[in-house]
């Protein structure tokens, strides 16, 4: 009997029989699968992703679920921990794919998403992922990959646009050191920052590689200091970002701008560094002050549970579930290809703004910059979304 039941379920999922008027009984839930780093080097970001998914599921199910086939069906998500290990990302996604989930949700970090996207493509299951900026993932022709999140080309261009708009021409930093993580994303964004530097009035005086989770980064810091760098651009993980700040202080390296795209995402940043964490910029894809529908309600829910507005990755993760639910409703059936086609045609408001997808699966979403100020994350770009004035230059360590 177990074998028969499994066969019926698989046939219903793949053939896309309607929830009403079909020969198969409708399911009690619509199953989603997610693999998220809840431990390891990406744990702080993964925790935010998980909260975003959970809040979105609560809100959608609080309205009765997703309308499909004339009735509302609640969403159910199985969330597994890959321990920040791409090999475990693959094995755990494969396990979820074999269990009949209708869509897959991603975790945190470009290397984990690169591994995950290939699994989704092989199994022909729609995949929505945020908290990764690596653009080359989208250059493989994947049809089932969708990401409503800024990518490296936008981040590189917006870095210079943001600095030039926020700092008078005679006061801008001009000599940039790139601390380049030895990963695909580190190289990709380092290349883009370099390629677009001269046209924007900047000189790259150092591109220094480092190995993730290195304990001693003093060599690259001293090289940047000797080169006269007055700005640092980097993409470290949270542990590496904390190490960099501590050792920059020890070595009295005081750039006017410190940009660490993802390291400062979580509240653990200010807990670990205190005032030394202030002034650092990040580009997390969202901020709780953006004026989009649903953001006040999301902030209120997060405030009630955690005592603070929604963390920066919570919004994009929430938006992923919004997009998936909308696609399932428009598809009208739980068929992977029908849902995939509906996701490709997405045109909807979300908590990260209006979202549409390009043919390569990248989303048209705002690129925001956030700065730590007195232990809080403040939106400092773009001005059109209500940004506050950039704190510039970053105060020297000895003056804090």
The 10s digit of each residue's pLDDT in 312-350 is 999 999 999 999 999 999 999 999 999 999 999 999 999
Same domain, yes or no: 341 and 228: no
How, if at all, do strands 353-356 and 347-350 pair? antiparallel
pTM > 0.95: no
Domain range for 380 is 152-284+368-399
> Is the pLDDT confidence value at 160 over 80?
yes
Residue 312 lies in a domain: yes
> Is the pLDDT confidence value at 248 over 90?
yes
Q: How confident is the model at residue 171 (pLDDT cuts 50, 70, 90)?
A: very high
* Nearest C-alpha neighbor of 369 from the set 277, 282, 240: 282
So what's the pLDDT on residue 213?
92
Indicate the number of domains in the chain.
2
Contact between 353 and 289 (Cβ < 8 Å): no
> Is the pLDDT confidence value at 17 over 50?
no
Same domain, yes or no: 160 and 248: yes
Same domain, yes or no: 128 and 195: no
> Is the pLDDT confidence value at 13 over 90?
no
CA–CA dist 128, 113 (Å, integer) = 10
CA–CA dist 135, 394 (Å, integer) = 30
Q: Is 10 exposed, middle or buried (0-12, 13-18, 19+ CB in 10 A)?
A: exposed
Same domain, yes or no: 322 and 393: no
Same domain, yes or no: 13 and 142: yes
CA–CA dist 50, 35 (Å, integer) = 9
> Is the pLDDT confidence value at 51 over 70?
yes
* Nearest C-alpha neighbor of 38 from the set 306, 266, 286, 274: 266
Residue 362 lies in a domain: no
Mean pLDDT of the chain: 92
- Rg of the chain, C-alpha, whole Å: 22
pLDDT digits (tens, 9 = 90+) for 77-98: 999 999 999 999 999 999 999 9
Same domain, yes or no: 236 and 376: yes
Contact between 131 and 316 (Cβ < 8 Å): yes
CA–CA dist 312, 371 (Å, integer) = 12
Q: At 25, give phi and psi (nearest 5°).
A: -70, 140
Residue 24 lies in a domain: yes
Any idea what DSSP says for residue 199? G
> Is the pLDDT confidence value at 386 over 70?
yes
CA–CA dist 224, 237 (Å, integer) = 20
Average pLDDT over residues 52-75: 96
So what's the pLDDT on residue 26?
57
So what's the pLDDT on residue 27?
74
Contact between 187 and 180 (Cβ < 8 Å): yes
pLDDT digits (tens, 9 = 90+) for 198-246: 999 999 999 999 999 999 999 999 999 999 999 999 999 999 999 999 9
Q: How confident is the model at residue 195 (pLDDT cuts 50, 70, 90)?
A: very high
Q: How confident is the model at residue 1 (pLDDT cuts 50, 70, 90)?
A: very low
So what's the pLDDT on residue 5?
27
Same domain, yes or no: 212 and 231: yes
Contact between 63 and 86 (Cβ < 8 Å): no
Residue 363 lies in a domain: no
So what's the pLDDT on residue 70?
86
Q: How confident is the model at residue 284 (pLDDT cuts 50, 70, 90)?
A: very high
Residue 110 lies in a domain: yes
CA–CA dist 68, 70 (Å, integer) = 6
So what's the pLDDT on residue 11?
29
Same domain, yes or no: 61 and 117: yes
pLDDT digits (tens, 9 = 90+) for 270-283: 999 999 999 999 99
Same domain, yes or no: 348 and 222: no
CA–CA dist 19, 126 (Å, integer) = 20
Q: How many percent of the chain have pLDDT more than 90?
A: 90
> Is the pLDDT confidence value at 190 over 70?
yes
Q: How many percent of the chain have pLDDT more than 70?
A: 94
Q: How confident is the model at residue 22 (pLDDT cuts 50, 70, 90)?
A: very low
Q: Minimum mean pLDDT among 21-25, 238-242, 243-247, 373-377: which range?
A: 21-25
> Is the pLDDT confidence value at 3 over 90?
no
How, if at all, do strands 231-234 and 175-181 pair? parallel
Domain CATH code at residue 229: 3.40.50.2300
Residue 361 lies in a domain: no
Same domain, yes or no: 87 and 27: yes
Same domain, yes or no: 298 and 195: no
Q: How confident is the model at residue 23 (pLDDT cuts 50, 70, 90)?
A: very low
Average pLDDT over residues 252-278: 94
Same domain, yes or no: 93 and 115: yes
Average pLDDT over residues 121-148: 97
């Amino acid at each position: 009997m177990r074998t028969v039941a499994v066969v019926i379920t698989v046939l219903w999922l793949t053939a896309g029989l309607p929830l009403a008027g079909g020969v198969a009984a409708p399911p009690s839930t619509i199953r989603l699968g997610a693999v998220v780093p809840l431990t390891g080097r990406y744990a702080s970001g993964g925790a935010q992703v998980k909260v975003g998914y959970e809040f979105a599921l609560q809100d959608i199910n609080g309205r009765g679920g997703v309308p499909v086939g004339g009735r509302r069906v609640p969403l159910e998500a199985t969330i597994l921990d890959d321990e920040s290990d791409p090999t475990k990302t693959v094995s755990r996604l494969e396990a979820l794919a074999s269990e009949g989930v209708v869509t897959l949700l991603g975790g945190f970090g470009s290397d984990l998403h690169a591994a995950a996207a290939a699994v989704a493509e092989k199994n022909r299951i729609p995949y929505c992922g945020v908290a990764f900026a690596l653009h080359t993932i989208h250059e493989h022709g994947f049809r089932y990959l969708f990401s409503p999140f800024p990518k490296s080309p936008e981040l590189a261009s917006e870095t210079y646009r943001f600095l030039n708009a926020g700092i008078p021409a005679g006061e801008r930093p001009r000599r940039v050191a790139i601390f380049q993580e030895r990963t695909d994303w580190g190289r990709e964004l380092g290349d883009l920052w370099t390629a677009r530097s001269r046209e924007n009035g900047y000189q790259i005086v150092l591109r220094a590689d480092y190995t993730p989770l290195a304990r001693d980064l003093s060599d690259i810091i001293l090289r940047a200091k000797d080169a006269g760098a007055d700005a640092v651009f980097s993409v470290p993980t949270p542990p590496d970002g904390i190490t960099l700040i501590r050792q920059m202080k020890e070595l009295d390296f005081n750039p006017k701008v410190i940009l660490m795209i993802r390291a400062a995402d979580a509240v653990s940043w200010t807990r670990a560094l205190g005032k030394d964490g202030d002034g650092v910029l990040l580009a997390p894809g969202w901020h709780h002050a953006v004026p989009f529908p649903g953001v006040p309600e999301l902030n209120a829910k997060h405030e009630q549970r955690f005592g603070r507005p929604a963390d920066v990755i919570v919004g994009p993760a929430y938006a992923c579930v919004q997009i998936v639910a909308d696609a399932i409703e428009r598809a009208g059936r739980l068929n992977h290809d029908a849902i995939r086609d509906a996701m490709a045609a997405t045109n909807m408001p979300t908590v990260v703004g209006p979202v549409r997808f390009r043919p390569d699966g990248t989303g048209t979403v705002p690129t925001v910059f956030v700065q730590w100020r007195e232990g809080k994350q403040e939106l400092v770009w773009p001005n059109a979304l209500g940004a506050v004035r950039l704190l510039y230059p970053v105060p020297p360590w000895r003056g804090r």
